[in-house]
Amino acid sequence: MVSRVIPVDPFDLVIFGGTGDLARRKILPGLFRRYCAGQMPEEARIVGAARSALSSEDYRALVAESVREVSGGRACEDGTLDGFLARLDYVRIDARGSDGWEDLAALMRPEMVRAFYFSVGPGLFGDLAERIHLHGMASELARIVVEKPFGHDLASARELNATLAAHFDEGQIYRIDHYLGKETVQNLMAIRFGNMLFEPLWNSQYVDHIQITVAETVGVGGRGEYYDTAGAMRDMVQNHLMQLLCLIAMEPPAKFDPDAVRDEKLKVIRALDPVEPHHIVRGQYLAQDGEHPGYREAVNDPRSRTESYIALKTHVSNWRWAGTPFYLRTGKRLVARSSVINVMFKDAPHSIFGQEAGRHANVLSIRLQPNEGITLQVTIKEPGPGGMRLVDVPLDMTFAEALGPDGEDPPDAYERLIMDVIRGNQTLFMRGDEVEAAWAWTDPIIAGWQSRGEVPKPYDSGSTGPGDADLLMKRDHRAWRGIKP
Ligand code: NAD
């Protein structure tokens, strides 16, 4: 399979927080891959801007180290790393003061796309937007990329939207949710809207329910302080799981263009029912073998009531989905790392094969990580003699296999999204009203458990989460699909 790389226009890309964890692990190695793929024009320039006192030379050495680390040394074999590093500059900057801003402004070239990636804590987003404007860098060709978390609740998200809107038009603001940059997520849209096969069945008449699982094996790690103020609901459900739900539930947009897609997603969020308290299960992981600390230890608060796991049931109240539950779950320190959406179709209305053939239903599984791909579970006759026995088998569309051993890996979510920013395509970014609508749904749920003083249920590290999450399904005569790597 031949990958087609469409070169982008020359650009200036400023990475605020260019020495931070996200920049070093994802953004810069991703840019390097785009460079290797031939997508970065000769004149493109990347400027790291952060607090540390570094020269551009120091910065290039730092980036070289990160790129080598992430790519396991492979990056340098063909000698292209130097070419990439030659495009890098560094400016020491104080987001809250005046240091460095004139130097940065002097590096910007007129008539060129300029993107400012805010890879810093959210407390600095407003300061950065204000200073970019103040120092004359907010040209028509300027755009800003804003990392999560986008607000802590509806009020703070509104405030942040208003702050950014004071300096940039909505068309210049790219709120990133890297889940939307995943190959499979875009394939979900291709499968739904590019085929006749699924769309007629994509409704409550044929779909029994939807399961969305984002399971992690890691704990809160070094992010404990932040995480304990957020929890799984704010950190994962309000953004990533909500976006996935939208893509599954939305109506076909008239066009694959940013506003058409985002209008449809917004309608889904606004159609979400409030969640009943008995349809939510919250959990906190326990320590494992004395090796890994439990959640409360990890966040250094023996009385913390923040959830590291959440499972909930909700409904999209519209014609298409009336009566079809959406079950969402996400958690840390679970049995496997796995992000998957399962569209569970209904059983055939009548079995011509009799009781003994059992009950069989089709399942469309969309795997986001690991092993991105899509599987359709279909029922066939078990091969061989012995009568008509039915068995479920997967029709597998694993992309790695389709691409073949010599095929190129699809771009990582971050690299794809950054190139979309440069191209000026906002389709895979969240609009301000979407983010606010998601908080408007989330806030009362959180307020509810806070007012009831609910304490999350403990669960074993390495498990599938608290037993109550299984009961949530069992009460509806359903079961979660296994969490498999
Ligand atoms: P980090 O703490 O590793 O890096 C912070 C960066 O900001 C550093 O480069 C630092 O020099 C710079 N900085 C801090 N204060 C500054 C100031 N006053 N002036 C100028 N620069 C300043 O953080 P990170 O993990 O890279 O995260 C960055 C952002 O990305 C955060 O909003 C975070 O929530 C988000 N994010 C991170 C990850 C991740 O995997 N690390 C994932 C998703 C979202």
Q: Which of 167, 209, 240, 360 is catalytic?
A: 240
Give how far Cα 431 sits from Cα of 170, 244, 258, 284, Å.
8, 15, 9, 32
Instruction: Specify whether 240 is catalytic.
Output: yes
Residue of 339, 409, 399 lying closest to 369 (CA atoms): 339
Task: Give the pLDDT confidence of 437-448 residue by residue, as tens digits.
Answer: 999 999 999 999
Neighbours of 379 (CB within 10 A): 17
pLDDT value, residue 400: 61
- Mean pLDDT calculated for residue range 216-237: 95
* Residue 87 CA, ligand 1 centroid: distance in Å: 22
CA–CA distance, 135 with 118 (Å, rounded to integer): 16
Inform me whether the pLDDT recorded for 78 exceeds 80.
no
Q: Where in the chain is the domain with CATH 3.40.50.720?
A: 11-147
* Candidate from 92, 120, 127, 229 with most ligand 1 atoms within 8 A of CB, to mutate: 120
262 contacts 437 by C-beta, under 8 angstroms: no
Query: Which atom of ligand 1 is the closest one to the Cα of 52?
Result: 11
Q: Which of 397, 475, 478, 393 is nearest to 207 (CA)?
A: 478
Angle of the 242-249 helix axis to the 258-271 helix axis, nearest 10: 100
pLDDT for res 1: 46
Neighbour-count burial for 389-425, b at 16+ CB within 10 Å, e otherwise: eeeeeeeebebeeeeeeeeeebbbbbbbbbbbbbebe
pLDDT tens string 458-479: 999 999 999 999 999 999 999 9
Question: 145 CA to middle of ligand 1, Å?
Answer: 13
Model pLDDT, residue 73: 59
Q: Which CATH number fits domain 11-147: 3.40.50.150, 3.40.50.720, 3.30.830.10, 3.30.300.130?
A: 3.40.50.720
Q: Residues of CATH 3.30.360.10 domain(s) within the chain?
A: 180-236+272-416+455-474
Please give the helix or strand (H or E) that residue 273 lies within, else none. Answer: none
pLDDT bin (cut points 50, 70, 90) of residue 230 is very high
Q: Rounded to two decimals, what is the model's pTM?
A: 0.94
CB 330 within 8 A of CB 283: no
Rounded to the nearest integer, the mean pLDDT of the chain is: 93
Q: Which of 43-57, 180-194, 203-217, 329-343 has the lowest mean pLDDT?
A: 180-194
Give residue 285 CA to ligand 1 midpoint distance, Å.
26
pLDDT in tens, 305-327: 999 999 999 999 999 999 999 99
Alpha helices in 148-182 (DSSP H): 154-165
List pLDDT tens digits, range 380-406. 988 888 788 889 999 987 766 665 545
pLDDT of residue 116 exceeding 80, the answer is yes
Q: Check whether 61 is labelled as a binding-site residue.
A: no
C-beta 223 within 6 A of ligand 1: no
Rg (CA), the chain: 24
**Smallest Cα–Cα separation from 175: which of 428, 481, 404?**
428
- Say if ligand 1 is within 6 A of residue 95 CB: yes
142-172 pLDDT, tens per residue? 999 999 999 999 999 999 999 999 999 999 9
CATH code of the domain occupying 180-236+272-416+455-474: 3.30.360.10
> Which of 15, 21, 62 has the most ligand 1 atoms within 8 A of CB, as the residue to mutate?
21
Distance 48 CA to ligand 1 centre (A): 12
